[in-house]
Structure 1
Amino acid sequence: MEILVCVKRVPDPAENEIAVEGGGIRRDDLVYAVNEWDNYAVEEALRIVEREGGSVTVATVGGPEADETLRREMAMGAEKALLLSDPAFADADGLGVARILAAAVRKGAYDLVLTGAMADDGAAQVGGMLAELLDWPFASLVNRVEGAGPLRIGREIEGGAQEVSDIDLPCVLSVQTGINEPRYVGLRGIRKVASAEIPVLDAAALGVEPAAPRVRRLAYFVPETGPGAELLEGGIPEVAARLAGILKAKGGIK
């Protein structure tokens, strides 16, 4: 099975004190790492290949500095990597990133594409957009993958319940943390891939025409702390009556 895993270079929350600056965060002197969810996706891809055969390719959209992200995942066990890099990609929104990744998928012969459930911006949108652009089936928050096609997958849904489905290949899955335990990457593995050739594909090579982002972040801030919640104490009838009074006073009910 040929698997492509989409990964992203993000600020490491364990190593940085994040400071807000305008519509984003101050990026001077930040320490970067692979997006946590993506590590689980790469590990799951490696386990599928160990079980069913095939190979794993990792791909990322970013500048030259994203090369280290790809090499880290190759040290983990991915055989190949693709750096999707062009100055025109710098301002891409979620849909723009999905279009770039879709172009990379079409240039290969992949049976399965995995993404992390979300990345540093928390939007959790690229996986679904990518599936739509490819016209492939999609499942989100996947925490179990079995079989070789159709795949039997488990999804975490509201209330702690587990949903089990069969999904045809080719497909796109966004992977939840906890699906596995990502393997340790040692110094020997890092050295082994230090000189590996990583193709760099720009807009022309991918055949995409970057478009202006249709979503623009206007502000980025930590909300001010409010006065806190009011706790209602007493018996159920008393609390219910007080709650109804509060809701009426604030216009929540009539």
Structure 2
Amino acid sequence: MAVTEIASAPRDRWLHTQEELMKFSASRKHMTYEQELTLRQKIGRFINGIADRLNANVERQFQFRTMSICSAIVHANRFFYVHSFRNIDLRDVCLAAVFLTAKSDDCPRSPRSILVASWPLRFGVSKIPDKLYDAAVGRMSFFETMLLQTIGFDLMLDLPHPHVLKQMEALDAGYIREAAYFFASDVLAYTDWSIRYTAAEIAAIVVYAVCIWAKHPLPDMSVEQPWFQVLAPQLTEADLLSNEQLINSTYYFFDGIIEFVALYEKLPTADRPRNVKDRIKAA
């Protein structure tokens, strides 16, 4: 059963249903939806890899933060809704997204530091040849400009993390808050949900999934305003409990969990994020 998209409410220009994305991939005749999804997952892995190297041996207050990493991933995913993966190396866009996000989120990194962090991931060697450095900086600047033009200079992103933390506190689930926070990051990195759902909708599925896996009790849904409607007002109890019909105006929790787990299982073992259950134990 496919995940149902919210179709009745006005949507952000960057949000599209899975069916729309599949049709768009087919219309460009360059690759399938599944192939594009695999490349979007590579975006998440590459940007996370750069961030890990940027943050090595750096004091916490000066690190490239989780929210900045997620912002870079979202910008890159938006870029490749407009542009074809066939024509542009996703790693060029990832570098530009990291460079741009670091500046806009007030944790700037020099072009050299970003290139040094990414070079071994991209080319398998640690040192940037001197004769290639200037060209590499110029290339990153070019794609930064291209990225800015593509996203319309829209740098203000609504990410699911604040929604997740607020709702976990409301549910008295602080002990698994860290697990939910990192699960939200994994969802952005390993799915295409950043161009399919609002931050609040993503937060809703994250909160529900982590509470179910942690066996944390959820409030009675028969009250005047159920907990899930704080995040996604369109949702009803009937929508949550029904396994027989798909409601176009709602985001369906259960299928969303199944979809994420299915995508997770397809990732190579070495590329999988830490298991959510392990995070719950460590939180």
Instruction: Name the TM-score class by shorter chain.
Output: under 0.3
Alignment TM-score, normalising by the size of structure 1 = 0.26
Alignment TM-score, normalising by the size of structure 2 = 0.24
More helix by share: 2
More strand by share: 1
